[in-house]
Chain A
């Protein structure tokens, strides 16, 4: 009799517990980012953004989508900034891990290489890749939650050319899709601003010695050196070596937040007076709070791209909730496209890019020009795509 009672109680508990347990599922998010080599600080910033966004929903009991709670798990793979490594990782994520959402890739060549896989399988990607080819109506599942050179270069360059009396500029770019695309954008932007990109050098990404190239550039008597398109570490090496050979002109980085890493590599003295693009305004409390959380969690300085991917991942979660599904990526994609005036940690975010790319999958957000003093950014101008002041 006693045994019968115990069995009955267990049965009742099992019946009660089963539906609740069935509702707790795992949502796998892929992080296909660069974790080794020159682009590692960007990749780690993206990965950690996804982890922090996942932590937010997990600590509240999981992401609630259509009455089901999902524990978010981030599965990370390193592409080493290489297209072939990215393809291998994308295959694993899509076909073995069965993910439907990927944060990544960092580079332009890797995103172009994985898009045949992700688009074919309706996997939503959030890429950092700067190439214009990453976004198009034929690639409806790719989004870019960070502004690129194409969005931010012109207003910043207009302001810098006018305020720093710049006439000629030299630049070094990586010899790949990212470098080519940025070189074109930058050259056009300087020309439109009334200056000229008179010295342009391309190099392989694993290069560390820039003295011969800088010698050639400096010999042409340029007023400024532009760093856009280079990874944080490479940019730091260029700054250090440019100052080493006595370049005293203006150093500019009009895209790709990387100030802290550049200062780490080049040192405070070499970076003093450098003008950088910044998406981060310390006056915005949510931005500062995210930065503090990042530093407290990882013990590293935050890369400036990280908050974009934190917001991007949170927007992705919101889209899943609004679509009421995590499986139907077509519905999630549409919900994501329809998010407007999203209040992210960096400010108000909207999708843009219809005119430039033919599809509004490009994030639009406020940005700034900062001057580096003693290793820190000091904002000197606030910008929108229509200009800086």
Chain B
């Protein structure tokens, strides 16, 4: 029993980190631009395909592919802001509908280009780490390690750079931030670019674990939704807390009861949090 508890704990932390990478970009885009980005799952999918193309088509090392994925995703995000979201700035509903349309275009574009069949992604590492009866697949340890490094980098960018301070100021109060010289024309595309890059690199990291197809974005988007609702829309610390909590709940309930029960517990938790704290665990109330 103690083995199963420890194993579930490790599985839950890994899962939570993966959810956090998805949720953090999603909540950042909402915090900065006030856009509920339904295309976030498709950016995850595009990141997975970028990694696939880099590793299997171009034969690039995985690390180089991930770095290229981040760079291209920032450009894609900036371009998306300019072409799709900018015309609907300050109109949340239209922005949301535009993101839904974008999601359909991206998914069907991938479908046309890559076809519906899942693509094989070669394992980057094989084997397991063992500590007694505890087992951690090296592939997941790699994903966890790279994910943590990226999250630390993101934290540094957000907390210790001029760009990060600008983003945080926008999340707190857009009007005051602009009065203090934060340039929306620069911060919006870069903010969305950063959010897209986080989703894309999450896709690139998870592709060796879960495979690649045009339809892989739906589940991560749903998880990102759950995490930001639990944590509080726009709250990055809230997202971090909720992601780890969700990962642990799913892992423990799946291991000790069943997978179906894990889904029930998750949604019961979301409903419970919304009833008790409508703005989420660490979310702010509407001004």
**B8 contacts A212, C-beta separation under 8 Å:** yes
Q: Is the CB of A244 within 8 A of B211?
A: no
User: Is there contact, CB below 8 Å, between B254 and A212?
Assistant: yes
Binary contact readout B201-225 vs A (1 if CB under 8 angstroms, 0 otherwise): 0000000011101111011000000
Most buried by A among B3, B130, B215: B215
Known: A215-B8, A244-B128. A267 touches B117 (CB 8 A): no
For this complex, 13 residue pairs linking A to B, each with C-beta atoms less than 8 Å apart, are A40-B118, A41-B117, A175-B260, A208-B219, A215-B11, A216-B254, A241-B137, A245-B135, A246-B135, A261-B117, A261-B118, A265-B120, A265-B211
Q: Which residues of A contact B219 (CB under 8 A)?
A: 206-208
Indicate if the CB atoms of B139 and A244 lie closer than 8 Å.
Answer: yes
Q: Is A237 an interface residue (CB 8 A)?
A: yes
Interface residues of B in 96-137 (CB under 8 A from A): 111, 116-120, 122-123, 126, 128, 130, 135, 137
Write out the residue numbers on chain A whose beta carbons fall within 8 Å of the beta carbon of B263: 204
Interface residues of B in 163-216 (CB under 8 A from A): 209-211, 213-216
A341 to B287 Cα, complex, angstroms? 77
- A331 CB to closest chain B CB, in angstroms? 37
Apart from A233-B211, A245-B137, 11 more pairs, CB < 8 Å: A36-B111, A175-B259, A206-B219, A209-B15, A212-B8, A215-B8, A215-B11, A241-B137, A246-B130, A264-B118, A265-B118
Who on chain A is nearest to B210 by CB?
A: A208
Say yes or no: is A10 at the interface (Cβ < 8 Å to chain B): no
Q: Does A95 sit at the interface, judged by CB under 8 A?
A: no
Is the CB–CB distance between B260 and A219 below 8 Å? no
Q: In the bound complex, do residue A215 and residue B259 qualify as a contact, i.e. CB atoms below 8 Å apart?
A: no
A245–B11 CA distance with the chains assembled, in angstroms? 11
Q: Does A281 contact B (CB under 8 A)?
A: no
Report if B80 contacts A (CB, 8 A): no
Rounded to whole angstroms, the CA-CA distance of A241 and B126 in the bound complex is 11
B116 x A215 contact (CB < 8 A): no
CB-defined contacts of B140 to chain A, threshold 8 Å: 211, 244
Asked whether any CB of chain B lies closer than 8 Å to the CB of A374, the reply is no
Which chain A positions have C-beta within 8 A of B130?
246
Categorize the interface residue count of chain B: 35 or more
Say how far B187's CB is from chain A's closest CB, in angstroms.
35
| A142 on the B face (CB < 8 A) | no
**Do A201 and B211 touch across chains, with their CB atoms under 8 A apart?**
no
A138 within 8 A of B: no
In the bound complex, do residue A212 and residue B126 qualify as a contact, i.e. CB atoms below 8 Å apart? no
Interface assignment of A8: CB less than 8 Å from any CB of chain B: no
Instruction: Determine if B117 and A216 form an interchain contact, defined as CB atoms under 8 angstroms apart.
Output: no
Contact of A204 among B4, B214, B216, B259 (CB under 8 A): B259
The A interface is mostly helix, strand or loop, or mixed, namely helix
Give Cα A121–Cα B95 distance, bound, in whole angstroms. 46
Which listed residue, B116, B251, B260, touches A36 by the CB 8 Å rule? B116
CB-nearest residue of chain B relative to A202? B260
In the assembled complex, the Cα of A244 lies from the Cα of B135 at a distance in Å of 9
CA distance in complex: A203, B260 (Å): 6
C-alpha gap A82/B116 in the complex (Å): 16
Q: Quick check: is B90 within 8 A (CB to CB) of the other chain? A: no
The answer to whether A215 touches B260, judged by C-beta atoms less than 8 angstroms apart, is no
Q: Is the CB of A215 within 8 A of B255?
A: yes
- B255, A212: Cβ atoms closer than 8 Å: yes
The reply to whether A44 and B4 form a contact with Cβ atoms under 8 Å apart is no
Q: How far is the CA of A237 from the CA of B126 in the complex (A)?
A: 15
Interface string of B223-260 (1 = CB under 8 A from A): 00000000000000000000000000011001110111
Q: Which residue of A lies closest to B263 (CB)?
A: A204
Once the chains are docked, how many angstroms separate the CA of A264 from the CA of B135?
25
Nearest A residue to B214 via CB reads: A36
Annotate A227-249 by CB proximity to B: 1 below 8 A, 0 otherwise. 00000010011001100111000
Residue A269 at the chain B interface, CB threshold 8 Å: yes
B120:A216 contact, CB within 8 angstroms: no
Out of B4, B118, B122, B262, which one reaches A215, CB within 8 Å?
B4
Contacts of B139 in A (CB 8 A): 244
Q: A207: which B residues are within 8 A, CB to CB?
A: 219, 259
In the complex the two chains form, what is the Cα distance from A265 to B52 in whole Å?
13
A37 CA to B215 CA, complexed, in Å: 7
How far in angstroms is the closest Cβ of chain B from A211? 5
Please name the residue on chain B nearest to A172 by beta carbon. Answer: B259
The interface residues of chain B lying within 8 Å CB-to-CB of A36 are: 111, 116, 214-215
Chain A residues near B123 (CB, 8 Å)?
Answer: 240, 267, 269
Q: In the complex the two chains form, what is the Cα distance from A261 to B118 in whole Å?
A: 9
Q: A71-85, CB under 8 A of B: which get 1 and which 0?
A: 000000000000000
The interface residues of chain A lying within 8 Å CB-to-CB of B215 are 36-37
CA distance A36 to B140 in the complex (A): 27
Docked pose: A44 CA to B119 CA in angstroms: 15
- B120: A residues at CB distance < 8 A: 264-265, 267
Residues of B within 8 A of A37 (CB): 116, 215
| A208-B216 contact given A202-B259, A202-B260, CB 8 Å threshold | yes
